[in-house]
Amino acid sequence: MISFVEMMHLALHVGLPHFLLLSAVLFAIGLFGLFTKKGIIAVLMCIELMLNAVNINFIAFNHYMPATDLSGQLMALFSIAVAAAEVAIGLALAFRIYHDHHTVNVDDLNHLKG
């Protein structure tokens, strides 16, 4: 086991694991929200959180790993673009669902049930 001092030392030397942990925490929070939220817009917000967590990973790896180019950042950029498309479609869908069913509650949207 490592001692408290060592732990503090590690905590204060910001490096790759810090970002990975942060990303994991954000992802897990998003996941929790994804499971528990009832409103469809809230669910979409949680998904955005999870996507951001992933982007943090991309950029952190690109920064700390001995990379030769900016592929990681570019991937994050693509990810942002795709996420933008996703949020546009998602919100349009939410609006559409609200328009058709007068609800944004995911519980009421169980038409997938056979």
Partner 1 sequence: MFSDFMLTHAWLIPLLPALAFLWIGFFTRLHKKRSAAIAITMSSLSFLLACGVTWAVLSGPITMETPFVQKTLWFEIGSVRIFMGSLVDPLTAMMLMVVTMVSLLVQIYSVGYMAHDPGAGRFFAFLSLFAASMLGLVIAVNFAQLYVFWELVGLCSYLLIGFYYDKVSAREAAKKAFITTRIGDFGLLLGILLLQITFGTLDFQELKVLVPAYIWISGTSFMTIVGLLLFIGPIGKSGQFPLHVWLPDAMEGPTPVSALIHAATMVVAGVYLVGRAYFIFSALPVVMNVIAWLGGFTAFFAATIALTQRPIKRILAYSTISQLGYMMLALGVGSLTASMFHLMTHAFFKALLFLCAGAVIEAMQDEADIFKMGGLRKKMPVTFAAMTIGVLAISGLPPFAGFFSKDEILGAAAAVSTPLYLLGTLTAFLTAFYMARLLFVTFFGEASPGCPATETNAFMRWPLIVLAVLSCVSGLWGHFAGFGEWVYFGAAEETGIDWVIAGTSTVLSLVAIGLAYEIYVAKRWSAYEISQRFGVLYTLSFNKYYIDEFYTLLRRTFCDGLGRILYWIDLHVIDGIVNGLARLVGVLSTIFTFLQNGQVQRYVAVFYGGVIVLVAYSLFYAYKVLTLLGGAF
Partner 2 sequence: MNDLILSLHRLIDMGMTMAEELGTPEIILAAVFYVFAGISVLGALGVVLGRNIVHSALCLTASFIGIGCLYIFLSADFLGAVQFLVYGGAVAILIVMAIMLTRREDMAHSNPSRSIPHQLAALVVAGMFLLAMAAVALMSPFQTAPADIGDTVTGIADLMLTKYVLPFEIVAVLLLIAMIGAIILAKGVDES
Task: Decide: is 114 part of the binding site for partner 1 (CB under 8 A).
Answer: yes
Give the interface segment with partner 1, choosing from 32-40, 65-73, 78-86, 87-95 (CB under 8 A).
32-40
Residues in the chain: 114
Adjacent-strand bridge partners of 105: 39
Closest approach, Cβ 54 to partner 2, in A, equals: 11
Q: Which of residues 91-110 bind partner 1 (CB under 8 A)?
A: 106-107, 109-110
Closest to partner 2 by CB, 100 vs 113, is 100
The two structure tokens encoding residue 90: 């998602």
Binding string to partner 1 for residues 35 to 74, with x set by CB under 8 A, is what?
A: xx------x-------------------------------
C-alpha distances in angstroms, 24 versus 37, 82, 97, 108? 20, 21, 32, 31
Angle at 45 between CA 95 and CA 60, to 5 degrees: 140
Place of tokens 């994804």: 34
Closest approach, Cβ 61 to partner 2, in A, equals: 9
